[in-house]
Chains A and B, each alone.
Chain A
Amino acid sequence: MRQENYDKMTGYIIENQKKFYRLAFSYAQNQEDALDIVQNAVLKALDHYESLKNYDAIKTWFYRILVNESIYFLKKNKKEIASGEELGLEIPYYEQGYEPSDDLYDDINRLDIEIQNIIKLRFFEEMSLKEIAEITGDNLNTVKARLYRGLKMLKQNIQEVNL
């Protein structure tokens, strides 16, 4: 049974690797880091495969690891930039503002991480709000509230994007 779950899990990972990569890339915005994120997520998932009791939950279970790995990467990266500043290095600084640019994809990446996650999973990965709540570990209402807030920041008409 355990072996069967393991086989299914590796099958799931291999099949959906491109999706994982696209999501990781949307956070990292460069190939090497995106590959690292996916690889680390896969290793972590395998290390804990026995904790997945019900295979039907694989999708949200795996995405949760992947999203966490992406957040971990972003935070670590920030820290490195901060320590770079201490050394007096010139690090380009990107204003975390909400001036809409030409491209919504870029705008989404400038949102708060919690909101980014939800928008990406909802509109790019086309997941249900319930699935997203399982992934982020928030309750459904928090997810909804964040989603609306995000869309408002992005100046997206809620009707237009078909929730």
Chain B
Amino acid sequence: MNQMDHAKKRYDETPIPEELNGRILGAIEEFEEKKAASSQNNIGIGKRRYYKWGLGTAAAFFLTFTAALNINTAFAEEVHQLPVVGAIARILTVSSYKKTVGDEKVSVEVPGVEFIQNDTQGLSKQINEEIQEICSRYADESLERAQDYKQAFLDTGGTEAEWAEHKIEIKVWYEIKAQSDDYLSFVVRGTESWTSAYSQEKYYNIDLKSGKLLSLGDVLGEDYINKANDSINSQIEEKSKEIGIPFFTPEEGGFESISDETKFYMKDNGNPVIVFDKYEIAPGAAGAVEFEINR
């Protein structure tokens, strides 16, 4: 073997980091989101994924853009006027602000929970503080990411005028999923208009009778893991057919089992709905995937 063959061998054996595929797909995604955001009516366009991101920590922060993006204001107003739910609790916008930092628009609506009667042993305080913290941290970090993005854009030959056309928007808002005399279920979301990689969502399900956060075990009973897994397994095929996208197999990192960390919200009919992040069990084109589990 001559020296050149040897050098080529060393070149060919360059270790490939696991993140590579994720970074490539991330770049493609970033571009597509950016493109979608710049042509406002086409939010869905070009969102096709063939492969999935490396799972793990990053996956925990993914979510898709949802239709709710544009209805948050109306939603918040409506919510604000809601009568006290079952005379026990209500949710309201505790603070709401919009600001423009340079070209970046930030709008934040922080929800809060108010319990009327029950002594909740500080639960509402705890939840409200946590929500406050999540919302403001997300807005701050997001703004930093926007600045980094801008810097990178300018460093690679973009101009300020071109940047201004990017319509960078950061939103933090909430959606009520269900409310009854028994429970209150809502989600707090944060999204950025230029990428979905840092979108976050956090679900809160509160048992109004006990004044505690609901777990899947509380809703589905002791055998909740098997019950949910069976139900999901029986729905996967149909769901996959419905949207025309095959889900990942377990070998590809697809669905195996729910855990205590699995996200869910409550429906008005009392069933929990399990939510998997975009890329968690199916290609990104499928978006976030939800399964209603019958009680």
B4 contacts which of A3, A6, A11, A156 (Cβ < 8 Å)?
A: A156
Asked if B11 and A35 make an inter-chain contact with CB atoms under 8 angstroms apart, the answer reads: no
Question: B residues within 8 A CB of A35?
Answer: 17, 19-20, 23
Asked if B2 and A160 make an inter-chain contact with CB atoms under 8 angstroms apart, the answer reads: yes
Q: Mark B9-22, 1 if CB is under 8 A from A, else 0.
A: 01110101101110
Question: B residues within 8 A CB of A25?
Answer: 14
Asked if B31 and A46 make an inter-chain contact with CB atoms under 8 angstroms apart, the answer reads: yes
Residues in A25-44 with C-beta less than 8 Å from chain B? 25-26, 31, 35, 38-40, 42-44
Task: Name the distance in Å between A126's Cβ and chain B's nearest Cβ.
Answer: 9
Q: Count of chain A residues with Cβ under 8 Å from any Cβ of B?
A: 33
Complex Cα distance, B21 from A123, in Å, reads: 25
* Range of interface residues on B (Cβ < 8 Å): 20 to 34
Asked if A38 and B10 make an inter-chain contact with CB atoms under 8 angstroms apart, the answer reads: no
Task: Name the distance in Å between B42's Cβ and chain A's nearest Cβ.
Answer: 12
A100 nearest in chain B by CB position: B3
Asked if B16 and A21 make an inter-chain contact with CB atoms under 8 angstroms apart, the answer reads: yes
Asked if B26 and A104 make an inter-chain contact with CB atoms under 8 angstroms apart, the answer reads: no
Asked if A40 and B156 make an inter-chain contact with CB atoms under 8 angstroms apart, the answer reads: yes
Q: Mark A1-38, 1 if CB is under 8 A from B, else 0.
A: 00100110011011001100110011000010001001
Q: Mark B44-56, 1 if CB is under 8 A from A, else 0.
A: 0010101100000
Asked if A46 and B28 make an inter-chain contact with CB atoms under 8 angstroms apart, the answer reads: yes
Complex Cα distance, B181 from A33, in Å, reads: 55
B101 in the interface (beta carbon within 8 A) = no
B84 in the interface (beta carbon within 8 A) = no
Complex Cα distance, B25 from A13, in Å, reads: 9
B24 in the interface (beta carbon within 8 A) = yes
List 24 A-B residue pairs with CB atoms under 8 Å apart, sorted by A's residue number: A6-B46, A11-B50, A13-B24, A14-B25, A14-B28, A17-B24, A21-B20, A22-B11, A25-B14, A38-B24, A39-B26, A39-B27, A44-B156, A46-B28, A47-B31, A103-B7, A104-B7, A105-B6, A105-B7, A105-B10, A108-B7, A156-B4, A160-B4, A161-B2
